[in-house]
Chains A and B, each alone.
Chain A
Amino acid sequence: MRASKVMVADVTFVADLSGALFWQEQRLLIVSDLHLEKGSSFATRGVLLPPYDTVATLGRLAAVIARHDPRMVIALGDSFHDRDAHERLSAPDREALSAMQARRDWIWISGNHDPALPSDLGGVVASEVAIGPIAFRHEPTGAAGEIAGHLHPKARVATRGRSMERRCFASDGERAVMPAFGAYTGGLSIRDPAFAKIFPTQGLMAHVLGDNRLHAIAASRCY
């Protein structure tokens, strides 16, 4: 099972093992928190992380786009790690991005890391988008029918003295927070109070990204 279903306000989404969300009827693909050029961002501060994170992230994005062939892609904010990050994109990475944008609509939602994206990146820049009953924005507000990113949810599961931590979708059926898609993005535990503010109900589920399938686990079972 490479994917599983996630409901938000009566719309059924397919949660992809890569961390992307697909809306079949709309042929809409959503990814969040790519944090492109995070490696080089650290390098400017003397921490010389391997400069391959952008190519790795774009490679995975290209694969999931090839799989679903969406009509539209929404990048749900923090697509670039800092304000100047897009200027550091290498020429091949820029081309790879353009190739993905060809023949489809592309919306960059701005996030706190990339509040002002230039127009030459291709696609459209917006602060939020509403499609049908669903609102797409970077920072979650807790409104019903909302799909957001920003928090990088992850879940830790423990049994019999062993534990495992993975990225996850957080959803209670009314709203969802997407996992971060970027190669160098860490995470925040789904048990952090930040999630309780957004998900007022008891029914919060973590759709955990396993190696070969997704697992739906109650957030109360996670750490």
Chain B
Amino acid sequence: MPSPDPLPFTPLETAALLPDRFRRWFAARGWLPREHQLALLAKASDDRSALLIAPTGAGKTLAGFLPTLVELSSPAASKGGGEKSLISTGRGVKRTGGLHTLYISPLKALAVDIARNLETPIAEMALPVKVETRTGDTPVSRRQRQRRYPPDILLTTPEQLALLLSSDDAPFLFSSLKRIVLDELHALVTSKRGDLLSLGLARLWRLAPEMRAIGLSATVAEPESLARFLVPQRDGKETAADIVVAGGAAAPVVEMLDTKERLPWAGHTARHALGEMYDLIKRNKTTLIFVNTRSQAEMLFQDFWRMNDDGLAIALHHGSLDVAQRRKVEDAMAAGKLRGVVCTSSLDLGIDWGDIDLVINVGAPKGASRLMQRIGRANHRLDEPSRAVLIPANRFEVLECRVAIDAIAENAQDTPPLRTGALDVLAQHVLGCACGEPFLSDELYEEVLTAAPYASLTRTDFDDVVDFVATGGYALKTYERFARIKQDKQRRWRVTNPRVRQSYRLNVGTIVEEAMLKVKLVRGRGGGAGATGMIGRGGRMLGEIEEYFIEGLVAGDTFVFGGEIVRYEALVEDQVYVSRANDKDAKVPSYMGGKFPLSTYLAERVRKLLDDRRQWNALPEQVRDWLSLQRNFSLVPAVRELLVETFPRGNKYYFVCYPFEGRLAHQTLGMLLTRRMERARVRPLGFVANEYALAVWGLGDMSFMIRHGKLNLAALFAPDMLGDDLEAWLAESALMKRTFRNCALISGLIPRRFTGEEKSRRQVLFSTDLVYDVLRKHQADHVLLRAARADAAAGLLDLKRLGDMLSRIQGRITHRELEHVSPLAVPVMLEIGRESVYGEAADELLAEAADELVKEAMG
């Protein structure tokens, strides 16, 4: 970690950095300029790019804009004497006076909010500065005007930047650019949006060599690597922006709820602590209650509703709710009218809403940095500590909460390392470049290498991507005449027809949304499932739900949505009709697991905690007892050890192991282990994975087989499972198909939107699964399959983590043959039936549907 700025600025230095009218403005508000605000001004006057690392509430945004405001306030700095003139040239119109500063935010709401906040200092100091926003919601007329008469400061999103860069106006708009401010950089760089942004930056560095960047970020594990994002990488050498760390934030006060209730063995609802949470809300002014998934939010909100005898104003906020509904909650929150908001990561980022004095985090924290950022949402005043209470929902989560609190006390970070740029995003960018000015391959390759995520891109990969954009990149060269881009006599690539340009503009961006369906509350048929009769038509929109979830339901199934239990009635076009159900519990669990797996760092700490008995004293008594029981009955594994337990139960045999590597890696492990077990004639039937453990059950007596050497554990967990077994499984994997779909859409192989009309998402233009099957069979090394493979390895399959684990445990597998289930195995065993069982055997599922029919028929 770089240390905070060593010495405060002297008054003389402050005066040199901050003009008189700014000092007076600060004084009039009773403020002093903060160290890091001055430090950024100093970096700007030294012509350096900088990464500001600061907690929420540190005046980060103002710090990012001060250099621009100061520069634009002095008449000498303003462009062309402040006159914007139009000069006609051969090609359209040549104008002077482009943008001075560009601000990029991951959320359009944030851009709009920042614009509003900037207006205050600009108005109060009477600065000659024009600020505008540009998002998907900006009217076309204003967008056109912005391209002709750009403001000084434009606030926008990565997608809008890509669109502007692909237009003819790009050189005019950007060649005068002095600064780019990247907000919430830590969040942007973890996804493909970050890749797209980095390529946009590379383009800007070529158009505006004088441009410097300011990155605004929460605390991250590797600030040096994040700082590379902000400056052009050249000649294989790593260069980075200067790092400024804002100090002075009070350490947060984080506790774990020491519940008086019995701690559940499994589950994610934390229903046992409802009363205690309710009391916390009652005792504080405004409380944010974070949970990990939408369905958890739904369930918790509903529970609060039932017990809310005091009539506390408690609201619900998650990404699937109707936008108008969300805005209403946000406004009520800003006005201080709410006592509590149950929310998901939909509130992880974003605008500040006044006084939140407590954050409750329900369930697993998953990662220390993530938790810290959530906690930072409480109390946006730097000098007072944020307060948070963690509510573990089961015993394993107690361990996770414990180590997360320790990590926060040590200010340890576990944000993921910088991504390697994805090839599908590059394909989109290459097409975007061709839509603007024609490019030479050599030049564009050099430019792309300056983007930090693409600094080690090989020329072969680049050429393959260009070939893909041109004619699909197929070994069978049959599409030359249908090329989307072609080389002219100077070997510059240009788009072949305006339709290509139009299609690019309609499909820009890397966010592939889950197909969503609208949920409408109607009057039920009455008489339960299967009854015939009309379904009432009129009804209220509750929000949107993932299509794949609905596809798993049959009419009559109940689930939780919009804060109540509803019954699935029918799917009518793109609307899901549901009716109110009076059931106490929903039939179909919709816990899909959070989006993020347990971080490697926290997992390691949990293993250490288990291994170190002295640390057990810091745990609640119930958890200590649980671990002691486990020690007596089986074993508590050492840090690097893998414990495998086998035992019979009912008429099946169970196999439970504890890798502690997160749900995604465990699911992959489960897929691969069961393949091997099948070959070893264990006859596995299914498996279930959670964040800590994996349980497999089958018909073969695994204890007996291990005892007699018929099942060799070292061989079972041998790292070569990531070879052929992985390949064989991937070929058919639904996860892989889903990943491929995203790559096909982002790369532009299959358009999401066609010229003019937006296809309803249910009528997807073309099934990417069919394309996947054909392509895999006929050109397995195609660039898109490589892109999908890289995505899956880093994402849904978590291959790297699995590989690391397999090498860690070699020679350290301990087997315990047990009479019955162990205390440590109970949580994962309880997931069976609660989580959907993993496995992709189509025939079993179809046969089950057919068998049910037979039962029905036989009465």
Contact = CB atoms under 8 A, between A and B. Distances in A.
A159 B482 contact: no
Interface string B760-776: 00000111001101110
A113 B586 CA distance: 47
Contacts of A51: 472, 474, 476, 478-479
A162 B471 CA distance: 38
A164 B846 contact: yes
B553 A158 contact: yes
B843 A213 contact: yes
Interface in B751-793: 751, 765-767, 770-771, 773-775, 777-779, 782
A215 B849 contact: yes
Given A46-B484, A46-B500, A215 B551 contact: no
Interface in B370-392: none
Contacts of A211: 841-843
A63 interface: no
B482 A46 contact: yes
A56 B777 CA distance: 9
B852 interface: yes
A166 interface: yes
Contacts of B853: 217-218, 221
Given A156-B551, A161-B836, A215-B846, A47 B779 contact: no
A6 B588 CA distance: 35
A183 B770 CA distance: 7
Nearest to B845: A164
Contacts of B553: 158, 161
A106 B327 CA distance: 64
Q: Which of B750, B775, B845 has the most chain A CB atoms closer than 10 A to its own CB?
A: B845
A114 interface: no
A23 interface: no
A161 B588 contact: yes
B757 to A, nearest CB: 14
Nearest to A184: B770
Given A50-B472, A164-B842, A164-B846, A40 B484 contact: no
Contact of A217 (B571, B771, B836, B850): B850
B846 A208 contact: yes
Chain B interface: which size bin?
A: 35 or more
Contacts of B478: 40, 43, 51, 90
Interface in B795-846: 836, 841-843, 845-846
Chain A interface: which size bin?
A: 35 or more
B336 interface: no
Contacts of A49: 472, 749-750, 766, 771
A163 B552 CA distance: 5
A166 B589 contact: no
A159 B777 contact: no
Contact of A223 (B551, B841, B843): B551
A82 B597 CA distance: 48
A7 B771 CA distance: 33
A172 interface: no
B778 A42 contact: no
Interface string A21-56: 000000000000000000010111011111111011
B451 to A, nearest CB: 26
A67 interface: no
A184 B845 contact: no
Contacts of B749: 47-49
A96 interface: no
A144 interface: no
B499 interface: yes
B410 interface: no
A50 B845 contact: no
Given A47-B750, A51-B478, A42 B842 contact: no
B93 interface: no
A184 B852 CA distance: 32
Given A44-B482, A50-B771, A183-B773, A56 B778 contact: yes
A186 B767 contact: yes
Given A217-B849, A221-B849, A50 B778 contact: yes
A163 B750 CA distance: 25
Contacts of A215: 843, 846-847, 849-850
A159 B499 contact: no
A17 B439 CA distance: 50
Contacts of B479: 40, 43, 48, 51
Given A46-B503, A156-B551, A161-B553, A166 B778 contact: no
A162 B771 contact: no
A218 B852 CA distance: 10
B84 to A, nearest CB: 38
Contact of A210 (B767, B777, B842): B842
B842 A53 contact: no
Nearest to A56: B774
Given A51-B472, A56-B778, A90-B478, A159 B848 contact: yes
A203 to B, nearest CB: 12
A46 B571 CA distance: 33
Contacts of A218: 853
Interface string A121-162: 000000000000000000000000000000000001111111
B774 A50 contact: yes
Interface string B573-596: 000000000000000110000000
A119 interface: no
Contacts of B472: 43, 48-51
A162 B845 contact: yes
A213 B553 CA distance: 24
A217 B847 CA distance: 9
Contacts of A157: 845-846, 849
Interface in A188-216: 208, 210-213, 215-216
Nearest to A1: B843
B554 A158 contact: yes
Q: Which of B482, B849, B853 has the most chain A CB atoms closer than 10 A to its own CB?
A: B849
B837 to A, nearest CB: 8
Nearest to B549: A161
A211 B732 CA distance: 11
A183 B774 contact: yes
A184 B843 contact: no
Nearest to B471: A48
A52 B770 CA distance: 11
Contacts of B750: 47, 49
A161 B552 contact: yes
Given A162-B836, A210-B843, A42 B551 contact: no
A218 B856 CA distance: 11
Contact of B852 (A55, A56, A164, A221): A221
A163 B843 CA distance: 12
A52 B476 contact: yes
Nearest to B835: A161
A184 B774 CA distance: 8
Contacts of A213: 843
Contact of B775 (A52, A160, A164, A166): A52
B827 to A, nearest CB: 20
A150 to B, nearest CB: 18
Interface string B733-756: 000000000000000011100000
7 contacts: A48-B749, A50-B775, A52-B775, A166-B846, A184-B770, A221-B849, A223-B551
Given A48-B471, A183-B773, 8 more contacts: A42-B766, A44-B482, A158-B554, A159-B845, A161-B588, A163-B552, A183-B770, A210-B847
Interface of B: 471-472, 474, 476, 478-479, 482, 484, 499-500, 503, 548-549, 551-554, 571, 588-589, 749-751, 765-767, 770-771, 773-775, 777-779, 782, 836, 841-843, 845-850, 852-853
Interface of A: 40, 42-44, 46-53, 55-56, 90, 156-166, 183-186, 208, 210-213, 215-218, 221, 223
